[in-house]
Structure 1
Amino acid sequence: MATSLGFSKLSKWFSNKRTSSTKTREFEEAFRLFDANGDGKISSEELKYCLSCFGEEISLSGAQAAMKDFDLDDDGLLDYEEFLRLVKVSNGGGGGVDDDDDDLKKAFEMMEVEKGAGCITACGLKRMMRRLGEEKTDEECAAMIRAFDLDGNGVLDYYEFLRMMS
């Protein structure tokens, strides 16, 4: 598949550049994505749906069971702090949550066609791939964007970029 060929080199380059500084904005964005109704809590239904968007199939009862271990106030929902605990454990004990993404953030900013736009276009992706020695056509770059564009707006925001890089 063309997408995986292009991302293997890009992903390897970025993963070798990771630092250990803590970032929370990316986790807040992820939390907002999972919190579909915007009530500040993630329900088991929201967790199930979002995991399925990432290709992780889980039953509703499985989502409820997973949440139970992290639901500190026993309200059947995950608030932001409880969500962070779940992510920390899911990333092997915490390294993934506190590791960061300073270099990923810099890479994201390098791919922005317009500084501060908050999104990556196919053109920006193509330019970065070329810098890495990987020539891609406009259509290949557009296909890569489409593969990770969760909201269907034709560009990648930072959270979608992180998903692409994982």
Structure 2
Amino acid sequence: MCPSGRRFHLDAAAQSPEIRTAFKVLDADSDGRISGDDLRAFFSRFPAASDDIIASMISDADVNRSGFVEFEEFERVIFSGGDGIMEDAFRLMDLDGDGKVGFGDLKSYLMSAGMPADDEDVREMICSGGCDESIGVGFEDFLRILAVDSGNKAC
């Protein structure tokens, strides 16, 4: 479940089952594309997910301006870091707004996303970001966890 410091390349992305699974989690109506309604359904558990933030996320990822995020656009966001999209996702996960996604934040987010993780999985993810679970992960560490950055494992 945890990337454990693996380095992904864009050409390998299409073969990544984790990316496909994440896309399917966000595609609430299973129509093969992510809409604003899909994101609203997914982020409904997070009070910071305003319509403006969701619209911005769609707009930033929607290269072909179809009004939806197709899988290829989703891949681009994941592997390029997106143009503000990943920052928005990080802020939504940072439930207490302290600039860190802590152990509880990450575990809660994974559970609400339909990706149950045991405590060891969450610790491993935090470690892959180069951090200690008692501190949590900052934004750059978060990108390493998602394998957007080179993410050398520091623990």
Q: So what's the TM-score if we normalise by structure 1?
A: 0.43
Greater percentage in helix? 1
Larger radius of gyration: 1
The structure with higher relative contact order (CA 8 Å, sep 6+) is 2
TM-score of the pair, normalised by structure 2: 0.45
